[in-house]
Each structure stands twice: as structure tokens, then as C-alpha cells.
Amino acid sequence: MTAQTSARRGRFITLEGGEGAGKTTQIQRLAEALAAAGIEVMTTREPGGTPGADAVRALVVTGDGDRWDSVSEALLMYTARRDHVLRRIRPALEAGTWVICDRFSDSTMAYQGYARGLGRDWVERLDTLVLEGFKPDLSLFFDMPVEEGLKRAGARGGPDRFESLGLEFHETLRKAFLDIAGREPDRIAVIDALGTPETVTARLMDVVTQRFPEVAS
């Protein structure tokens, strides 16, 4: 499943972060900027993105916090992810479309690998088995204090299964994302998610245009 690089292959960009970090807004703004640069772009999310993956999403994000143990959660996430990559993400990239995804493998590493205690090695082995080396070209971690993120998430409506897991869980999650980013600085950039949406977008676009000069042109 390893992505093949060619002159016409699209770029795969993922947005990561804790609850309430503003990813949804920034995905839309990034998509608009890419389209303005003449780039064909598709947005999607995880878990989800295909009918099969959306069915898995309904199982994962609803119910009590202890509905699934960490192993079951990770297996469900990668079941959805493989279908998503095979049926939607990879075909789009091979057609030259840029794909922006709300969450990807880094979220499984952070949530199930770190915060749920599976460990890095376990998740890395699963990722290799399922995705066979397929990775984003660029991942953006939107970072903000946990209490602010949960406050923003709560303003959207009732908490989903992960939002309800408590402050300590989400503090661990933030540290996990920062550690993951520190291990792969060539792929992952940390974006300060505090400030107005316009300010955060400016930070985001600075990173994207530096990584992909064709966006600036």
C-alpha cells in the first residue's frame, strides 16, 4: 500500500490535535487556500470517509467511555482506516488530488498507544501490517491547553465518547501528541492553536507554503 511518488501524485496532509483544537475550521480554510492556488483538493475525516468506515465510526465515538478496551479501539480504527485509504485516499492521490484529512494514524498512536496504554511498539506494528508504510506527506498538530480545548468542544454540544474521558486523559493526550511530533519533525509541525481563526490560519499557511512551494505560487 506504500504511496508511490510521481509528478502528478497529490499530497496527503493530516490535521491532528486534542478535542476542541479548531481543526474543522482550519481544514476548510486550508482547502480554500489550495483551491485558490489552482490545486484540486478533497477533504475527509477519520474514523470515516467511506460507507464502511462511517459505520465503524458510529461504533467508536458513541457509547460509554469504557465501551471498548484499547485493543478493540485500535483494531476498529485501523479497520476503518484501511478501507478509507484503499477506497478513497489513495485513488485521489494517484489522480493528482491533494487530500486533507481530519485525523489519521497519529491520533491512534496518541489516543490508544499513549493515553490508553497500548504502547508505541504495538501501534507501530499494527500500522505497518495494515498500511504497509503509507504515511502523510505533512501532519499538523494543533496545540492548545487542555482546559481551553475541552471548553470549546463542550460549546459544540454534548460530549462524544472521547471528550467525556476526563481532564487527566486529555492532559496525557496532549503530551502524547507533542512527543509524537518531536520524534518526526520532518513530517509533523506543531501549530499554536490559540488566537483568532485568522491568526491560526496564518501560522498554518506559513508551514504549508514552506513545505510545498507550489502552494505559494
Q: 96: buried, middle or exposed (CB in 10 Å: 19+, 13-18, 0-12)?
A: middle
How many domains does the chain divide into? 1
Give residues with Cβ within 8 angstroms of 183, minimum separation 6: none
Q: In this structure, is residue 213 part of a structural domain?
A: no
Q: Span 152-160, mean pLDDT? A: 61
Q: In this structure, is residue 121 part of a structural domain?
A: yes
Q: Is 63 helix (H, G, I), strand (E, B) or coil?
A: coil
The whole-angstrom separation of Cα 74 and Cα 127 is: 10
Q: Which domain holds residue 190?
A: 12-208
Q: What is the CATH number of the domain that holds 35?
A: 3.40.50.300
Q: In this structure, is residue 2 part of a structural domain?
A: no
Q: What is the DSSP letter of 143?
A: E
Query: What pTM does this model have?
Result: 0.89
Residue 47 pLDDT:
95
Give the pLDDT band of residue 2 (cuts 50, 70, 90).
Answer: very low
Q: In this structure, is residue 131 part of a structural domain?
A: yes
Q: In this structure, is residue 202 part of a structural domain?
A: yes
Q: In this structure, is residue 3 part of a structural domain?
A: no
Taking only the tens place, the pLDDT of each residue in 75-131 is 999 999 999 999 999 999 999 999 999 999 999 999 999 999 999 999 999 999 999
Residue 161 pLDDT:
56
Q: For the chain, what is the mean pLDDT?
A: 90
The whole-angstrom separation of Cα 201 and Cα 204 is: 5
Kindly state the percentage of the chain with pLDDT values over 70.
Answer: 90
Kindly tell me the sign of the dihedral angle through the C-alpha atoms of 26, 179, 59, 167: negative
Residue 205 pLDDT > 80:
yes
The residue to which cell 491560526 is assigned: 200
Q: In this structure, is residue 107 part of a structural domain?
A: yes
CB atoms within 10 A of CB 154: 13
Please report, in range form, the residues annotated as the binding site for ATP. Answer: 17-24
- Cα 7 to chain center, whole Å? 25
Q: In this structure, is residue 6 part of a structural domain?
A: no
Residue 64 pLDDT:
76
Residue 155 pLDDT:
63
Residue 4 pLDDT:
43
The whole-angstrom separation of Cα 95 and Cα 81 is: 20
Taking only the tens place, the pLDDT of each residue in 11-59 is 999 999 888 888 999 999 999 999 999 999 999 999 999 999 999 999 9
- Closest to 110 in 3D by CA, of 57, 73, 152: 73
Identity at 174, one-letter amino acid code? R
